[in-house]
Chains A and B, each alone.
Chain A
Amino acid sequence: MKIKKPILAFIAAVAVAYLLTSVLGTQFVLADIQSYGLPVSLPDRLAASLHDIHGLVPVLLMLVSAAYLVGFIIAVLGRRLLGGRHQYWILAAGFASLPVAMMLMKLTMGITPFALAGTNSGLLLIALCGLAGAWVFARLTQNRGA
Chain B
Amino acid sequence: MKTMFRVCLLLFLVDAANAADYKIETVVAGLSYPWALAFLPGGDMLVTERPGQLRRISNGELRQQPIAGLPEVYVDGQGGLFDIILDPDFAGNQRLYLSFATGTKSNNATRVISARLEQNSLVDIQVIFTASPDKDTPHHFGGRLALLPDQTLLITVGDGFDYRKQAQRLDNHFGKLIRIHTDGTVPADNPFTGRSGALPEIWTYGHRNPQGLLVSADGTVWLHEHGPRGGDELNAIEPGRNYGWPAITHGMDYSGAYVSPYTEAAGMEQPVTYWVPSIAPAGFCEYRGEAFPEWQGNLFVAALVEKSVRRLVLKDGRVQSQEILFTEPGERIREVRAGPDGYLYLLTDSDEGKILRVSPAGKLD
Contact B256 A58 (CB under 8 A): yes
Stretch from B16-24, B109-117, B257-265 that touches the partner: B257-265
Q: Which of B162, B247, B252, B257 contacts A22 (CB 8 A)?
A: B257
> Which residues of chain B come closer than 8 Å to A37, judged between CB atoms?
267
What is the CB-to-nearest-CB distance from B171 to chain A, in angstroms, rounded to a whole number? 14
Q: Mark A107-123, 1 if CB is under 8 A from B, else 0.
A: 00011111100100000
> For the complex, would chain B's binding face be called helix, strand, loop or mixed by DSSP majority?
loop
Contact B256 A56 (CB under 8 A): yes
Contact B247 A60 (CB under 8 A): no
B253 interface residue (CB < 8 Å to A):
yes
Residue of A nearest to B76 (CB): A110
Residue of B nearest to A63 (CB): B255
Q: Which of B139, B254, B258 contacts A52 (CB 8 A)?
A: B258
Contact B261 A47 (CB under 8 A): yes
Contact A113 B261 (CB under 8 A): no
What is the CB-to-nearest-CB distance from B142 to chain A, in angstroms, rounded to a whole number? 16
Q: Which of A38, A51, A59 contacts B258 (CB 8 A)?
A: A51
Interchain CA distance A110-B138 in the complex, whole Å = 6
What is the CB-to-nearest-CB distance from A46 to chain B, in angstroms, rounded to a whole number? 11
B42 interface residue (CB < 8 Å to A):
no
Interchain CA distance A44-B262 in the complex, whole Å = 9
> For the complex, would chain A's binding face be called helix, strand, loop or mixed by DSSP majority?
helix
Contact B261 A36 (CB under 8 A): no
Contact B257 A56 (CB under 8 A): yes
> Which residues of chain A come closer than 8 Å to B53, judged between CB atoms?
none
Interchain CA distance A16-B252 in the complex, whole Å = 24
Contact A36 B139 (CB under 8 A): no
> Which residues of chain B come closer than 8 Å to A114, judged between CB atoms?
255, 257
Contact A32 B165 (CB under 8 A): yes
Which chain A residues (22-75) contact chain B, with CB distance < 8 Å?
22, 25-26, 29-30, 32-33, 35-38, 44, 47-48, 51-52, 55-60
Q: Which of A32, A36, A57 contacts B256 (CB 8 A)?
A: A57
Contact B161 A44 (CB under 8 A): no
Interface centre among A32, A58, A111 (most CB of B within 10 A): A111
Q: Which of A35, A36, A113, A118 contacts B254 (CB 8 A)?
A: A113
A55 and B77 contact, Cβ closer than 8 Å, known pairs A36-B168, A112-B162, A115-B253: no
Interchain CA distance A35-B246 in the complex, whole Å = 11
Interchain CA distance A112-B164 in the complex, whole Å = 11
Q: Mark B268-294, 1 if CB is under 8 A from A, else 0.
A: 000000000000000000000000000
- 23 A-B contact pairs sorted by A residue (CB < 8 Å): A25-B257, A32-B165, A32-B246, A33-B247, A33-B262, A36-B247, A38-B262, A47-B261, A48-B258, A51-B258, A52-B256, A52-B257, A55-B252, A56-B256, A57-B256, A58-B256, A60-B255, A60-B257, A114-B255, A114-B257, A115-B164, A115-B257, A115-B259
Closest 10 CB pairs of A and B: A55-B256, A36-B247, A52-B257, A48-B261, A111-B161, A59-B255, A110-B138, A36-B168, A56-B256, A114-B255
Apart from A25-B257, A51-B257, A55-B258: 17 A-B pairs, beta carbons within 8 A? A29-B258, A29-B260, A33-B262, A36-B247, A38-B265, A47-B261, A51-B258, A55-B252, A55-B255, A56-B255, A59-B255, A111-B137, A113-B253, A113-B254, A114-B257, A115-B255, A115-B257
Which B residues form the contact surface with A (CB < 8 A)?
76-77, 137-139, 161-162, 164-165, 168, 246-247, 252-262, 265, 267
